[in-house]
Structure 1
Amino acid sequence: MDLRESELPGIGRKYSLRTRSGEKLVIVVHNDERRDIFHMDADEPDEMRSMVTLDDEEARVVSAIIAGITYKPKFLENQEIALDSLVIEWIRLEPLSKCVGKRIGELDIRKTTGSTILAVVEKDKTKHINPGAEYVFTPGVTLVVAGERIQLNQLKKLLLNGML
């Protein structure tokens, strides 16, 4: 993890964070207690993928959730060893994702990224466990995926851009 902090004269303070998975977040804490959180594109560092603005109260609630104050996940040590570097993640497909309208087999996901789609949950909560190569991606579905962190980052790029 790489964290950098800088003063923004007349504005507040800026924090830039690069996570272990390669994601980049920029958080600006304004003097008026407002917080802007920017999710930057990993490939184009000056391009913003998304942004959210929180007031002081919202920021404190979000920070309590992230810090584990309201809920602390229980993950047994032997599970961590058994999973080793395997990561299971949920990915929601947005309408602008280039994979929308394409089949799993068409993108050759497992061969291209090394990751696996374990399940798909539709907007109406219909579940497809271990969807086959003929499954067609639609906007708003949530994918349950597994792989190593680098494989999942490649999968996200493939789903969003239609290529690596």
Structure 2
Amino acid sequence: MDVLRTELPGIGVRFEMETKRGVRLSIVAHREGRRDFVVYDPDDPDSTLECIVLDSDEASSIGELLGGARIIEKINSLHKEIDNLVSRKLTVDAASPYAGRTLGDTKARTRTGASVVAIIHGDQVTTQPTPATSLNVGDKLVTIGTSESVDAVDRILRGEI
């Protein structure tokens, strides 16, 4: 999909695109963090049908949800290309020694070779979590690696290794 980027002096940046179904839309990223999601009238390209204004927190949440879905989609496509690659959602339960601690405390990647590519906390998705990302009871860690390495991350979360 082609995205046209236009600088808006004093305002921010507009990103404009057309979907495969012919819907033209844009996102105006204001300097202060606000985002305007605009859907244009197909019969009059200079008129809008809808403008949804999102504050920076709302825009961030939607971005994380969409970004997380895209990462999962890409991981699933990799499964077809690499025979021994798996991805699983691992849960941090109340008995985990890492509940209330950070992802870095698990040293999961160093110890197993598997990668945690996203963390799902309720309806929030954190893509590309850092070692400082907190782990909470009920969080789901989207983990990718070999079957053995993902199993090892699960055992780490349960405090078995």
Q: What TM-score, normalized to structure 2?
A: 0.49
- Structure with the greater alpha carbon radius of gyration: 2
Q: How does the TM-score come out when normalised to structure 1?
A: 0.48
More strand as a share of residues: 2
